[in-house]
Structure 1
């Protein structure tokens, strides 16, 4: 990183922290102590209002917040942003009703001619493959803001009224999903967003334990019912890669001796879903239990053959 670019980033870093040490700069920007000292001196030269505090707990303090220079992106960052924007192209619905076309036009307009040429050359060398959004999801913004602000919603989902606390939204294989806690069923659920036909804010208070739930640990809310069926499938390395690309809260990967297995549970009404999931894994998986699942999978393949 060029010194001028690093100084610009340090200005933003200390403006946010207000108080910092040389160690903070060394860790944040991966620089030596000598470089950190030189950078502090450079900050003082350009008039940054900082002063040193001596002693065991000393460091540097910013007297008041500074008016920062405009954000500048280097060529590598611009290309990285362009790559990131490509993920928006396949979605007709995005939170906050933002379209890829509008963002793309504004982005391109502010680039220099040289940067535009770099983008054009990259377009001719890089192919972006997208999974197109399959159905419209009209309530993404309210679902996302409810998750961020810990708000309980009343939704209409497949003609039934549900009271939920959204935790996170995500997209997979062309569909938007909402991870949520169903207040009526007192259970963790995943809702397909295009099947939500209405959503409105309520005054219901969320459970305290839900306020600290994140997308990473939200699966801990999932609990099988008393009727859930346990399964265990032997899986090879190719299957492990498929599992890592697509799996669900009701299943996990374990290792026993030199073998890998997918274990978990499914509800009786999810049999069709489990069979289709197994079919996608193909020959990478072998059913250990329940044994009657083998015949159901065989019947699934027989039905497919009859339609050929």
Structure 2
């Protein structure tokens, strides 16, 4: 099946400039990262890794979808100000948090899981372990607990005393985004096209809201999947039964982004994209866009080789987790409560 563009008249020139920036190694986001170390807590809080693991085991055992929730929290944290725990801050009179930003308000869950882990860690090591580090470790354990790969987590982050509602609205990739938009937002964070495709594989677990896939299933879905409009697939029919064409009460209805193995971290997400059945426009564009020369080949690679996917996902998660809020290393703190700055 010929590759199809999901958007008319793409901004080819801008796309090529972004690819050139990538090829030349230009980092569109910031500066050198402060050094993080694997043994940061070895002497000052040696129990932290085991404590996070036990709490995540309980959370995922109670509901496998909690793995995706915590992983998504980590993504949304790192794409705004770096991995500094800013996404965990509640609104106060003096601080506008990120939780009510458009990409977050109906999307993010799992805050209570991080609260519980923080309470346990504070009991063992008061004032030592940052919320940013807890979230980073928890995201790794979340993936591992549903069948995904293990990776060592560099540690030593500080918690930011600030958040950015504005950056949360602009930096986080959107479900309906085109390939140009998605790649540019990853490049801005210093993440390559390869990182983009590998990290999108996180959608092998978790769900999406009807409001975020309605345009896809009533738009280009049939074109990418090769379905006869007069004879819709069972899958597309089931999606339309979950998500009617008009906005309203059904907006919060959900569907798995990987309908084959929704609670298992594997490479079936990419195999779904090969069939043109990706739930989100932003995902399917990686394979179906006429601009997706490199991304299409990566989708094929990860669909065929789960070991290659696991290895690259692990490497890309470390790279994403190392996106730093440089200010937090100078003015940051270790929050006592992940929802509020210390007083």
Q: TM-score range by the shorter chain?
A: under 0.3
Structure number with higher relative contact order (C-alpha < 8 Å, ≥ 6 residues apart): 2
Per the normalisation by structure 1, the TM-score is 0.23
Q: Which has the higher strand share?
A: 1
Which of these two proteins has the greater Rg computed from alpha carbons? Answer: 1
